[in-house]
Chain A
């Protein structure tokens, strides 16, 4: 009887913790899984087609990198109750504030265009015309945000996050050799030797792991959710879990690509899906659904990141808990960003490849600034109090930030001058 009551006690305690987590869960999971957006899927597919399983180990390095950067936004948001844009304005003045806000608007809009490119390309495989995809996505996202509750929006976003796991069963369809995955993928190595081309792929993978919109999105989401200092441990756990899941999804895409696409020249995830259709119909379908979902998740988060930022600065009501009448400018900003990005994809002969390349270059101008501001704000004892960065966190985070700044800058330069690393 005593044994039974102990088991019951432990079970009910565990269940209570899980239920509490589901109340707090959200921003970290959503932002991390949305990190595997259409551009991310393309990068993973292209890298795995080129190097097989050879760079899987690199994804495992990127998991803690993403966590340490995003974790800072949880603390900053929970303590200051301010989004990243407002924190920059307040901390560093109007010049740096406007620079970040305008740059964020531009990067977000361009990234949103690339998400629409991914979504329309994915559904075109199933015969859905692009205009129908754009209309459908805008309507769907409109319905999601207009329900007037942050909680509902977040839980719907989490459902779409679950679809991102579709690559896991996909990997089982291709029957990879586990011993080869372990031998080639988990032992750090540079397939074919360290050369300019490999360096380019490594930089591209870093570029997809840490994007500027992620910092702004998670901090604003933490604020909109109403998280406080006592929720920080849960917020951190949420971010750990999210970064782990995003890494796992990346690994499974590498396994699919490394098994079924090795040696092929893959330029986009949609092309990878079509190629995989030839290998196995279900596999290609999974890949295409995953690409659409990735684009949709990216669109859900990115469109909100700039609307939240503008709302914070212009003093508009800017919560998903507000109805459209209460926050007209916030929703107007949201829909203008979304609809115009969708329209660009429908323009015949629109320079979509140029836009995709331009995103990477513009992101390089915003990312270092946003990261440097993040570190400096986390060291402001007056605001952060006991939640300011410790010496260890400063050393670790500064090293990560310097590495990201250098590598993402080199990536931006390589996009501007494509022959530089080849």
Chain B
């Protein structure tokens, strides 16, 4: 069982290598979309952390 699980976790590295490079051409609109998405997610996570901290207090 441990062997099987270890093999599955080992696959994570394999997956990371397999998908290390995005296949989609990183044109300006794509870059901009991904940048906006990152900003949006950082904002949202920040908001959640803020809410969590204010709830604790």
Contacts and interface: CB of A to CB of B under 8 A. Distances in A.
Partners in one complex: yes
Interface of A: 89-94, 96-97, 313-315, 329, 361, 364-365, 368-369, 372, 376-377, 380, 382, 405, 409, 412-413, 416-417
Contacts, number: 56
Contacts of B20: 93-94
B33 A416 contact: no
A372 B37 contact: yes
Given A91-B24, A365-B41, A372-B34, 10 more contacts: A92-B34, A314-B11, A361-B48, A365-B44, A369-B37, A380-B24, A405-B40, A412-B44, A413-B47, A417-B51
Contacts of B8: 314, 329
Contacts of B44: 364-365, 409, 412
B51 A416 contact: yes
A90 B15 CA distance: 10
A194 B4 CA distance: 57
Contacts of B19: 89-90, 93-94, 97
Contact of B22 (A92, A364, A372): A92
Contacts of B23: 90-91
The listed residue with most B CB atoms (<10 A of its CB), out of A96, A380, A409, A416, is A416
A376 B48 contact: no
Contacts of B33: 372, 376
22 contacts: A89-B15, A90-B19, A91-B22, A91-B23, A91-B24, A92-B24, A93-B22, A94-B15, A94-B16, A94-B20, A96-B22, A96-B34, A365-B45, A368-B40, A372-B33, A372-B37, A376-B33, A409-B40, A409-B44, A412-B44, A413-B47, A416-B47
A372 B33 CA distance: 7
A92 B45 CA distance: 21
A299 B24 CA distance: 33
A373 to B, nearest CB: 9
Contacts of B51: 416-417
Interface residues of B, number: 22
A24 to B, nearest CB: 29
Interface in B17-57: 19-25, 30, 33-34, 37, 40-41, 44-45, 47-48, 51
Contacts of A96: 22, 34
A417 B23 CA distance: 39
A387 B34 CA distance: 23
B24 A377 contact: yes
Contact of B15 (A92, A314, A409): A314
Contacts of A313: 15
B48 to A, nearest CB: 7
Contacts of A376: 24, 30, 33
Contacts of A380: 24-25
B54 to A, nearest CB: 9
Contacts of B47: 413, 416
Contacts of A365: 41, 44-45
B31 to A, nearest CB: 11
Given A94-B19, A376-B33, A369 B41 contact: yes
B11 A315 contact: yes
B24 A368 contact: no
Closest 5 CB pairs of A and B: A93-B22, A91-B24, A94-B19, A89-B19, A416-B51
A75 B33 CA distance: 21
A268 to B, nearest CB: 23
